[in-house]
Structure 1
Amino acid sequence: MEQLQDTSAEEPVLSATTVFASLAELREAPGYSPKAIAERLTKSLGTDAAAPLLGVSVELLDRWTSGQDAPNAEGRLRLADLDALIGHLHSAFTPAQAMLWMCSPNVQLGSRPIDVYRTLGSAPVIGAIRDHAQEAFR
């Protein structure tokens, strides 16, 4: 039987300057602006659902979405956090499955994922989504 050779090359080394220069450009990229993220979230969740998850009023989210107002640093972080969560949900579940998963008790999280998100942010919920997706492939 023929043995496969390890042909994996070493990972290229990225300097911190390269990474941070790329991040600076990304901030101005159309898909990553606060307005674009707000639009994506309102299209995905609806304004009435997205606003409370972001901790803002529907009116303020509407202003962010229309570009009439820009979020402060905390608002930008909340947008990014919820956007990351929604992206992971879309990659692992259908919309109906995502709603059921987010609103059902989760043993790993010790609570419903929606409640964990509201208190701790997206990181533990995204970890649970990844674990769930990995279980599906075992």
Structure 2
Amino acid sequence: MEELQDQRVEEPALSVTTVFASLAELRDAPGYSPKAIAERLLNSLGNEAAAPLLGVTEELLDRWASGQEAPDTEGRLQLADLDALVGHLHAAFTPAQAMIWMCGYDVHLGARPIDVYRIQGTAPVIGAIRAFAREA
């Protein structure tokens, strides 16, 4: 045990200024714009699945993806949450496995992940994906 402790490498201190300066530029970064996220979700899920998960119409999601309209703050947060969830699903499962897992019963959640997402949001579902991945 002492050998492991002696081999630890100290992590460099991270300046809060550096973090916030980087985050300030993130809003305008091409891959993180609402348009880019909406496009990514449409490519991953399709409009018929993504729009209801976001709680918007297919037409509105199309306008976000085309850049014709920008989402409000709540819409941007919904896009970011669903994008994070889809990223975790892609990391842990094949597309077919993700569909089965999202619509099946999960013991960590005590319910179907899709239902938990709709009621509680992404956090508990992402936690369950991580738990599943650790056990696999």
Question: Structure 2 length normalisation: TM-score?
Answer: 0.94
Between 103-112 and 39-48, the greater mean CA deviation after superposition: 103-112
Partner of 1:134: 134
For residues 81-96 of structure 1, the aligned pairs below 5 Å read 81-96=81-96
Task: Give the aligned residue type for 1:73.
Answer: T
Distance in 1 separating the partners of 2:14 and 2:4:
29
Partner of 1:47: 47
Any idea what SS the aligned residue of 1:88 has?
helix
Distance in 2 separating the partners of 1:34 and 1:90:
20
Any idea what SS the aligned residue of 1:100 has?
helix
Any idea what SS the aligned residue of 2:70 has?
coil
Give the C-alpha shift of residue 6 in structure 1. 3.8
Give the C-alpha shift of residue 9 in structure 1. 2.3
Any idea what SS the aligned residue of 1:10 has?
coil
Distance in 2 separating the partners of 1:103 and 1:67:
31
Distance in 1 separating the partners of 2:21 and 2:102:
36
Sequence identity percentage: 76
Identify unmatched segments of 5+ residues in structure 1: none
Question: Structure 1 length normalisation: TM-score?
Answer: 0.93
Any idea what SS the aligned residue of 1:124 has?
helix
Task: Give deviations 1:40-63, integer Å, cap 9, x for gaps.
Answer: 000000011000000000010000
Any idea what SS the aligned residue of 2:81 has?
helix
Distance in 1 separating the partners of 2:48 and 2:133:
28
Instruction: Detail structure 1 runs of 4+ shifted over 2 Å in the superposition.
Output: 3-9
Distance in 1 separating the partners of 2:40 and 2:22:
22
